[in-house]
Chain A
Amino acid sequence: MADAPPDFNPSGGPPQDLPDLFTPEETIKRNPIVTGLLALIPGAGHAFIGRSRQGAGYFGLTVVMGLLLYWAQVTTEFEVFPGLWIVLLVVAILFYVFTIFSAVSLAGDAEKFYPRIALILILSFTYLLGWQATEVNLQKFFTEFSDTFDTFSRILWPWNAAIDPIEDVLVVSTPFLAPCPDDPIASSMSELDNEFGAQITLEPGCGVMNEDRTEEPGTDLMLVGTGFVPNTEVVLWWEDPIGEDFRPNYDGETLSVVTDADGNFELAFEAPRYNTPGQAVGIQEHEAVIRQLIDITGYELSENFLLALNRLIITIFQALMATSFGIIFAFPISFLAARNLMWGSPLTRVIYYAVRFIMNVSRSIEPLIWAVIAVIWVGLSPFAGVIALTIHTIAALGKLYSESIESIDSGPIEAVTATGANGLQTIMYAIVPQIIPPYLSFTIYRWDINVRMSTILGFVGGGGIGQILSQWINQSLWSSAGIAVWMIAITVSVLDYASAELRKRFV
């Protein structure tokens, strides 16, 4: 994850205690034939002539090559191109032969023996196998790029899904009774309750629904409408006895028709598929519904846009809560993890090492893993994400805080103590002013990271905008996903900039 706390060696140089692998070893002159025979065991020849580090290296490389060759043969992860395996075998054998020649030649009087050959062989082996193992496919990479155009363009420009039209819809409905009462109803007619004078008539006004248990088709119906807006589409809907609206579906088709020049239409269909619940008693009153879109009066933010916005705000709060909980724990812990405060007695040293160890472990476990654990713990919710981030934050801030304690200037402590100040006063006037600015700086930095991380945690159920984003991706709702992606990107960059600006002021 894009989390790079400045915990590496600040001088930038390599650690000083690296074993010195690069200075040449002294070669002992030996009999080339004996050396060559020993060199049949990779590396043994080199060890014999005093180059044991080089020998160990060659031995290790040969063993690794052999194991990889074997793995390439037996693995079912990818298709090994048969010719390639032979090539790899040849490279490995060449390397083996090279080690023998190298040992023999060095046992004589050569100072070095074409180390470049070893490098070329090792690199060829590595990249040939790597290419296969990761199934690199340049042909697909270039020729099938166009497949992404649709998805990609909708993610890049999702804003048409960000707004919905506000529609003025004419709704006219008329009852349909199922089953028919003793005295069947020949037809039903809607009430005249709109300014257009639009009305519908349904014939017959009662019948049977298409129910699973009877396996009979629904009653054939004829719906006639008058007084609608001319030359405009009308759509058939249905309202069941408990008031649920749905569009009747006939083999995947929904029904609609365009009104004629006088605003009239006719629609023939079967009573739709509907399973009357077992506990329903007697005659059920359905409604046949005609909807006609008359006008678009305006636009409003779409439901998914608002949903994404809601989740974004939750995400920012998640990061805030996690950062705050993190501070509460990290602040005291940082004193326990500060070398200059804890180096006094053996007991405090043990505490120092224990705290450091726990922090390092919890920091090296990715927040994503913590989130999975937290979801099991408290269920799918933003709180799970908060827990995961908090744990990681405690460890990361604890380390950064303790390092800023370690780097405080002891001069002011001395000076304030010399004025006759007591312990509390010394902390407040000599230590706190020194650690507050770096603490603030690190904390803002951490909040910034937490916002970025919490967007990801949603993918494993940690709540927030990530959760809705992963749902939309799974449903291939690319425009909605694009809205979420944009929101994340904008928030992260704004915060990134703001936190950089804020931190500048504290350093």
Chain B
Amino acid sequence: MLVVENLSKVYDNGTAALKDVSFQVPDGAFLGVIGLSGSGKSTLLRCINRLIEPTSGRIIWDGVDITELRGEELRKVRRKIGMIFQQFNLVKRSTVMVNVLSGRLGYTNPIYALVNHFPKEDRDKALAALERVGLSDKKDNRADALSGGQQQRVGIARALMQEPTMILADEPVASLDPVLAHSILDQLEVLNREDGMTVLCSLHYLDLVQRYSTRVIGLRDGRLVYEGTREEIRNMTDEDFKDIYGQEAERITPGSIMG
């Protein structure tokens, strides 16, 4: 269970990105986080693994207050939380293999980093992860030689290396075309259903939210403005979405809401 209580974030320049946000995510949920650009989705996800320091509030995961953690304890929690990004955030000049292996850094002895060494088991794990995302033949390619969809699958493989119990996905398909978007989200769905990972995924398109999410929260101007279950989402109309999104709401594929 992930419990977010009264979470607020004010940036140094005075921007209030999150305002008193509270919600709960049961283990094994696929939580869709919706909202316009700048509504605080990225800030929210990054507060959960403390890439961004919250200004106030608490984040309790499996009974541990993540906001209280320091140093080694924080890193141990982080390694159980995989993260994938809109821009993939791979090291473009490094090979696919090294990018995937870097997901294992939370487990390896830091001294190994100086000589770029990973234990044999980790290399085997990385190969297995690449196999799982269907990229084992690309392991020696430079990351930037891959297409966008492939890069995002490397991102997923990197997250798998952490053996996470929760995945934070920040607009994972916003840079991809609709077909690839489904392929990536299908993979996340598998991790969610078969591996039992909790997934927090910010999404932009209405039909993707309806297709994949088991729960939804909606943010507008840093405030939580909507919270709904699977059934409630599926019964939502475009008008309901527009209340959250404003008039710019759109579907990734034109047509009616998918079942």
Known: A419-B103, A420-B162, A433-B91. 13 other contacts (CB 8 A): A411-B88, A411-B89, A414-B89, A415-B158, A416-B102, A417-B51, A419-B104, A419-B161, A421-B102, A425-B113, A429-B94, A429-B105, A430-B91
**A and B contact pairs by CB, cutoff 8 A, 17 listed:** A409-B92, A411-B89, A412-B90, A415-B158, A416-B105, A419-B79, A419-B82, A419-B102, A420-B162, A421-B102, A421-B106, A425-B105, A428-B116, A429-B102, A433-B91, A433-B93, A434-B92
Task: Give the interface size bracket for B toward A.
Answer: 35 or more
A307 → B minimal CB distance (Å)? 45
Instruction: Check B113 against A411 for contact (C-beta < 8 Å).
Output: no
Cβ-defined contact, B113 with A419, below 8 A: no
Q: Is A263 an interface residue (CB 8 A)?
A: no
Interface status of A23 (Cβ within 8 A of chain B) = no
CA distance A434 to B93 in the complex (A): 7
Residues of B within 8 A of A421 (CB): 75, 102, 105-106
Q: How far is the CA of A414 from the CA of B76 in the complex (A)?
A: 16
In the bound complex, residues from chain B placing their C-beta under 8 Å from that of A411 are: 85, 87-90
Measured CB to CB, the residues of B under 8 A from A are 49, 51, 75-79, 81-83, 85, 87-94, 98, 102-108, 110, 113-114, 116, 155, 158, 161-162, 168
* Contact assessment for B76 and A415 in the assembled complex, using a CB-CB cutoff below 8 Å: no
Q: Report if A433-B51 is in contact (Cβ < 8 Å); known contacts: A415-B89, A419-B103.
A: no
Q: How far is the CA of A424 from the CA of B49 in the complex (A)?
A: 19
Contact A433 B75 (CB under 8 A): no
Contacts A415-B83, A425-B113 given: A434-B103 contact, CB under 8 Å? no
Secondary structure class of chain A's binding surface, majority of residues:
helix
Known contacts A420-B76, A420-B78, A420-B162, A429 near B106 by CB under 8 Å: no
Give chain B nearest CB distance to A274 CB in angstroms. 72
**Residue A422 lies at the interface, judged by CB distance under 8 Å to chain B:** yes
A344 CB → nearest B CB, Å: 10
Residue of A nearest to B111 (CB): A424
Assess whether A424 is in contact with B93, with CB atoms less than 8 Å apart: no
Interface size class of A (residues with CB under 8 A): 20 to 34
* Contact A414 B98, beta carbon cutoff 8 Å: no
Interface residues in chain A, defined as those with a beta carbon under 8 Å from any beta carbon in chain B? 409, 411-412, 414-422, 424-425, 428-430, 433-434, 437
Which residues of chain A have C-beta atoms less than 8 A from B114's C-beta?
A: 424, 428
- Which residues in A have their C-beta under 8 angstroms from that of B78? 417-420
A412 touches B113 (CB 8 A): no
Given known A-B contacts A433-B91, A433-B94, A437-B93, A414 and B105 have beta carbons under 8 A apart: no
- Picked from B75, B90, B94, the residue with its CB within 8 Å of the CB of A420 is B75
Shortest distance between the CB of A208 and any CB in chain B (Å): 82
Bound state CA distance, A428 and B87, in angstroms? Answer: 21
Residue of B nearest to A436 (CB): B93
Contact with B81, one of A415, A418, A425, A433 (Cβ below 8 angstroms): A418
Give A425 to B101 CA distance when docked, in angstroms.
Answer: 12
> Are A418's CB and B113's CB within 8 A?
no
Contact among B75, B83, B88, B98 with A429 in the assembled complex (CB-CB below 8 Å) = B98
What is the chain A residue whose CB lies nearest that of B168?
A418
3 tightest Cβ-Cβ pairs between the two chains A and B: A420-B106, A420-B79, A411-B89
Q: Which residues in B have their C-beta under 8 angstroms from that of A424?
A: 110, 113-114
Contact yes or no, B106 A419, CB < 8 A: yes
**The residue from A418, A425, A433 contacting B49, defined by CB atoms under 8 A apart:** A418
Residues of B within 8 A of A437 (CB): 93
B175 CB to nearest A CB, Å: 12
